[in-house]
Amino acid sequence: MPQIFPPNSNTLVTWSIFGGGVFVLLLLVALPFYARMNNNRVGVPVEQPVDFPHNLHVTQVGLDCRYCHSTVETSNTASVPSTETCMTCHSQLRVNTPQLQAVLASWETDTPIAWNRVHNLPEFVYFDHSVHVNNGVGCSSCHGQIDEMAQIWKNEPMTMGWCLDCHRNPETQLRPRSEVLNMSYTYPSDPGAQLALGTELVEAYHIDTDRLIDCSTCHR
């Protein structure tokens, strides 16, 4: 068998040993940075085809969440309102503003508005809005202060670990049903009081805490 490597490859070997060491070191340094990169896009406002300010509609106009997200209590999806819902008011109000032209165009040409998704759970996750809203999980618990956002961003990472934080200890997050839509709800300042309230609510709403962390609860 002839010699494959020329004599100067000895140097190459030496250097590649050092190079490999440096590469591993760089990797070790880079990994924590990569892990901290916001790949999940938490807190990054999402541009929309219509410049819809949630803060104005919730705080100034005082619209109930369910006026637009009408199926949040009955269906798995909260649902994005139809153009018709916008037109309830905006057939009369602020018709001439540039922000509204896309809505009017949608209405006149009968073409839907394609909104950009902010929260996108993987297909293998089953999530039902109604069951959360009807059992004392507040809108703001997951979506944050929507009433202060001009553009909506994802407020929580929506990772499995984040889901489980609450599914393991629901009593730390629950609030009375009457407060679910309350955007400025504050939990009892004393953690003991929240625990007592939460435990009471778990019992009152018949929440089966054992089944909350079953795989099949979310992965059906």
Partner 1 sequence: MSDASKNLDFAQIRARLADKEGPAYWRSLDELADTTEFREFLHKEFPRQAAPLDNGIDRRDFLKLLGASMALAGLAACARPPLANEKIVPYVRKDEEITPGKPLFYATAVTYGGYAEGVLAEAIRAGPPSSKATPTIRPAAAPPAPSPRLRYLPSTTPTARTP
Q: How many residues bind partner 1 (CB under 8 A)?
A: 28
The values of phi and psi at residue 42, to 5°, are -75, 130
Choice from 8, 120, 186, 189 touching partner 1 (CB under 8 A): 120
Q: Considering only the stretches 11-19, 21-29, 106-114, 133-141, report the one whose residues sit in contact with partner 1 under the rule CB under 8 A.
A: 106-114
The values of phi and psi at residue 154, to 5°, are -80, 120
Q: Considering only the stretches 53-61, 79-87, 138-146, 170-178, report the one whose residues sit in contact with partner 1 under the rule CB under 8 A.
A: 79-87
Q: Which two structure tokens, joined as six digits, stand for 22? A: 């440096």
Q: Give which of 112, 119, 110, 40 is closest to 78, Cα–Cα.
A: 119
Nearer to partner 1, 78 or 202 (CB): 78
Q: Which residues contact 48 (CB under 8 A, 6 or more apart)?
A: 115, 116, 151, 152
Per rule CB under 8 A, is residue 190 in the interface with partner 1?
no
Residue count (the chain): 220
Per rule CB under 8 A, is residue 141 in the interface with partner 1?
no
Choice from 110, 190, 208, 210 touching partner 1 (CB under 8 A): 110
> In the stretch 16-55, what mask flags binding to partner 1 with x, by CB under 8 A?
-----------------------xxx--------------
Q: At what angle do helices 101-109 and 83-90 cross, to 10 degrees?
A: 120
Spatial separation of the C-alpha atoms in residues 160 and 158, rounded to whole Å:
7
Q: Which residues bind partner 1 (CB under 8 A)?
A: 39-41, 71, 74-77, 79-85, 106-107, 110-117, 120-122
